[in-house]
Structure 1
Amino acid sequence: MENFAVIDLGSNSCRMTVTQIHDDGGYTVTHRLKEMVRLSENENATELPTLQPAAIERTIAALKSFKTVYDQLPNLTLKALATAATRKATNQKKFLKQVKTELGLDIEVIPGTTEAYYDYLGVVNTLPTTNCVMMDTGGGSCELVLMVNGQAKHLVSLPIGAVSLSEKFQLDGAVPANALFKAMTFVDKLFNSVWWLRNGLNLPLVCLGGSNRTLAKINRRQNNFLDFEDIHGYRLKDTAIYKTFDAVLTQDAEGRAKIPGLAKDRADIIVGGMVPAITLMRYLDSDRMIFSQNGLREGVLFEHLTALAEQNSKVSE
């Protein structure tokens, strides 16, 4: 039996999933931990992208809390990955060295395309979808994958996310019409730069990331689902999506914090977080979203399980 832990250090949150892999190849998820660290907060306040001291302090505190859990696990395999905020930071090496010094933890900074591929693995292994456009909106980046016949035909990572868009266009409080227009125009132009994206016209969107999942959670709360957070495989029509976005837009941050299904710590970044999905839905003339609870961490797990299966196959030959 192996304990396989994956830490996903994103721009907004830091998450860890621990999975027990049994000797027969089966597996059981034993821990799902999350801390909102806002690592990318004010990262672009200086001339060059720089992780700020307060954000680093919050992140290291979160990693230390995870360490108290994984240190207790026998036969541990630990993989720690960092994405957009760390990827673009000019003080990346200093930050990683500080983590190594204080926790003895090595963090691998992965390219955006690798992040997108892990998202694809997490989705294709757990949802019955073969043709779609996948979107993972994080705090500082947005990964897009065109899935054709179950294969990742094209993938890209764009430098837009819930935190970065909210800060760039001041979408944190009450949202003026001109600010929303500027944000959606900015995102639309980015989508226009991805030549293969039009090949996804009319396909469903499979959405990952906390901001996108919030769309599903708000809807499930409104419809009195017993477990409103169980959104894996949940589907929503475009009319329901636009209605939810409209309801979010009518409130300032304080009002958004009171919307059932919307986490209070997302209230100031949720408009920026939803803008990419809403814009892409209109861009592709898509009429539905399918939500995935699984993404990067699950993709890393499936990659590991495949490697173990190949190892065992060679041994038995």
Structure 2
Amino acid sequence: MKQIGIIDIGSNSIRLVLAKISENKCFNIIDEVKETVRLGKDMTIHGELNSLKIEKAIKAISFFKCLCEAQGITEIIAVATEAVRKASNQSKFINRVKSELSIEIRVLSGTAEAYYDYFGNINSMDISNALLMDIGGSSAELIWVENRKLKYSISLPFGAINLTERFYLNEAIDEKTEKDLKKFILSFYKDIPWLKEIKNLPLIGIGGTFRNIAKISRKKNEYPIDNIHNYTITMDEVEEIYNMIKIKNQAERKKIKGLSKNRADIFLGAVGAIVTLSQFLNLKKLYVSGCGIREGIIYEYILKNNKPLKDVLDFSINNYMVNHEMNLNHAKQVWKLAESLYNDLKPILNINCDYYNILKTAALLHDCGIHISYYNHHAHSFYIILNSKINGLSHKEQLMAAYIAALHRKNDFKINLQKYGKVISENDIEIIEKLAVLVRICENLDGGIHGNISSVSCTIRSDNVTINVKSKTDSFLEISQALECTAAFEKIFSKKLIIKAS
């Protein structure tokens, strides 16, 4: 088991992420800390980092080093982006950090910054083709992903801080200022040859501006799930947020629910850059990412190469199974059996979409709550699955998987449609109940937790379903336990359930 610290020195904030990395390439984030330093603000006319900002940055990095030492972490990876990248006194700052704190800072080029954004997201989102945008304090990265590969990328020299300083955007703006802002931003977009080729792609948003857009949207819409990663919002709503912000002064912005008070003064320019891009390319949908440079560095560290994961969801599920110290053999056995039932029973499941990944997640993680407590572990599993960042699933899919897992012991765990009605429907509840009974049967078929049942197959008749069980030794006890699900099965499918050894 290794532990590493990653310090990301941005133009607006400096962040520390602490991660535990196991030998089997699994990792766990154990802490994350942010200091708003504004290193890219108030640079001198000669392009130097402000001396007061440097002192504040060094204090923040020193504090982060103390946190690493308290956790027994000696390996620290420190990177810096646009503010340090363009500073004429870059060497002075880097050398001070090295001499005073014994930390070497790697200054990322714009290309490297875009790559880590790409690598952090291609390994944490189920995407094949998309446009990624990371807008920071002093730069914005655009990355075109095609067939999961980085096709083109560019780093542009504007961000939340320098746009605010250039156009005085910390207060409400007039029509002329807005026009000048959009004209300035658009001039950069028009000079990117490949950007004009992009058609009908989703935008994936990286960084604090996008996260704050999501938080404002969630508050406004009373969205019931806290997870920012993979939050979906229309570009029309993003434009509504922009139009709301542009007429407010700084004090009024600080009252907006979901908008960080530390970002209120620099928020408008960054959202303006997003809206201008959306209008230029006629973008329709935004997916907000909770990953970026730091996650890109972690994936590079554990994968030891620049090849994306073959299956984002599989890696993520396995990561949680290991971190929650689950019985891997039992979890995989339940999924193996559930997969067979799912495929055999499709004629009576009567579902139009593919729920394979939802069922896989629920089956493999159904016991994750035992890590908290065996008692009521199904309820703990619900909470863990819903509130974890399971990569490769939408929020709806994650919620459905959480409910299926919660129902794996008995069918009295209440599905709260009043709370989650914005995410799932009555029809989704029906599907949850169908898939949950499959998991419950398979959980009981591996009741001995020793993989005695080698396979199952189903025969569907007009009035009954027979599950034929093949086993290594006598399967009387497993079948007896599984038959406890007959009442629930018959209620859901209107067919008698027969389970027998074959």
Q: Please report the TM-score for the alignment, with normalisation by the length of structure 1.
A: 0.93
Q: Would you say 1:277 and 2:274 are equivalent positions?
A: yes
The corresponding residue for 1:133 is: 131
The corresponding residue for 1:261 is: 258
CA contact (8 A) 1:130 1:149 kept: yes
> Aligned pair in 2 of structure 1 residues 264, 222: CA closer, same or farther (>3 Å)?
same
> Aligned pair in 2 of structure 1 residues 68, 284: CA closer, same or farther (>3 Å)?
same
Q: CA deviation at 1:309?
A: 11
Q: In terms of mean alpha carbon deviation, does 241-250 or 251-260 score higher?
A: 241-250
Q: Which amino acid aligns with 1:289?
A: L
Q: CA deviation at 1:224?
A: 2.3
Q: Would you say 1:288 and 2:285 are equivalent positions?
A: yes
Q: Distance in 2 between matches of 1:94 and 1:181?
A: 39
Question: Which of 296, 299, 312 matches 2:296?
Answer: 299
Q: Distance in 1 between matches of 2:172 and 2:117?
A: 32
Q: Distance in 2 between matches of 1:25 and 1:270?
A: 37
The corresponding residue for 1:10 is: 10
Q: CA deviation at 1:225?
A: 3.3
Q: Which amino acid aligns with 1:133?
A: L
Q: Equivalences for 1:1-317 in 2 at 5 Å?
A: 1-43=1-43, 45-46=44-45, 48-74=46-72, 76-226=74-224, 228=226, 230-307=227-304
CA contact (8 A) 1:116 1:155 kept: yes
Q: Counterpart of 1:122 in 2: which secondary structure?
A: helix
Higher relative contact order (CA 8 A, sep 6+): 1
Q: Deviation string for 1:104-148 (max 9, x for gaps)?
A: 111111101100000000110011111111000000000010011
Q: Which amino acid aligns with 1:20?
A: K
CA contact (8 A) 2:5 2:77 kept: yes
The corresponding residue for 1:314 is: none
Q: Which amino acid aligns with 1:80?
A: A
Q: CA deviation at 1:247?
A: 1.2
Aligned residues: 307
CA contact (8 A) 1:131 1:147 kept: yes
For structure 1, which runs of at least 5 residues remain unmatched after alignment?
A: 311-317
Q: Which amino acid aligns with 2:274?
A: A
Q: CA deviation at 1:75?
A: 5.5
Q: CA deviation at 1:299?
A: 0.2
Q: Which amino acid aligns with 1:191?
A: Y
The corresponding residue for 1:315 is: none
Q: CA deviation at 1:156?
A: 0.6
Q: Counterpart of 2:42 in 1: which secondary structure?
A: coil
For structure 2, which runs of at least 5 residues remain unmatched after alignment?
A: 308-502
Q: Distance in 1 between matches of 2:269 and 2:200?
A: 24
Q: Which amino acid aligns with 1:25?
A: K
Q: Distance in 2 between matches of 1:240 and 1:7?
A: 33
CA contact (8 A) 2:131 2:202 kept: yes
Q: Which has the larger radius of gyration?
A: 2
Q: Distance in 1 between matches of 2:52 and 2:176?
A: 31
Q: Counterpart of 2:3 in 1: which secondary structure?
A: strand
Q: Deviation string for 1:221-266 (max 9, x for gaps)?
A: 11223554x2100111122111111111121111001101000011
Q: Distance in 2 between matches of 1:40 and 1:138?
A: 10
Q: Deviation string for 1:57-112 (max 9, x for gaps)?
A: 11111111111111123353211000000000001111111112221111111101
CA contact (8 A) 1:162 1:270 kept: yes
Q: Distance in 2 between matches of 1:25 and 1:75?
A: 18
Q: Which amino acid aligns with 2:298?
A: L
Q: Distance in 1 between matches of 2:212 and 2:3?
A: 30
Q: Counterpart of 2:304 in 1: which secondary structure?
A: helix
Q: Distance in 1 between matches of 2:136 and 2:161?
A: 8
Q: Distance in 1 between matches of 2:180 and 2:164?
A: 12
Q: In terms of mean alpha carbon deviation, does 216-225 or 186-195 score higher?
A: 216-225
Q: In terms of mean alpha carbon deviation, does 236-245 or 120-129 score higher?
A: 236-245
The corresponding residue for 1:313 is: none
Q: Distance in 2 between matches of 1:153 and 1:309?
A: 14
CA contact (8 A) 1:2 1:76 kept: no
CA contact (8 A) 2:84 2:107 kept: yes
Aligned identity (percent) is: 35
CA contact (8 A) 1:145 1:154 kept: yes
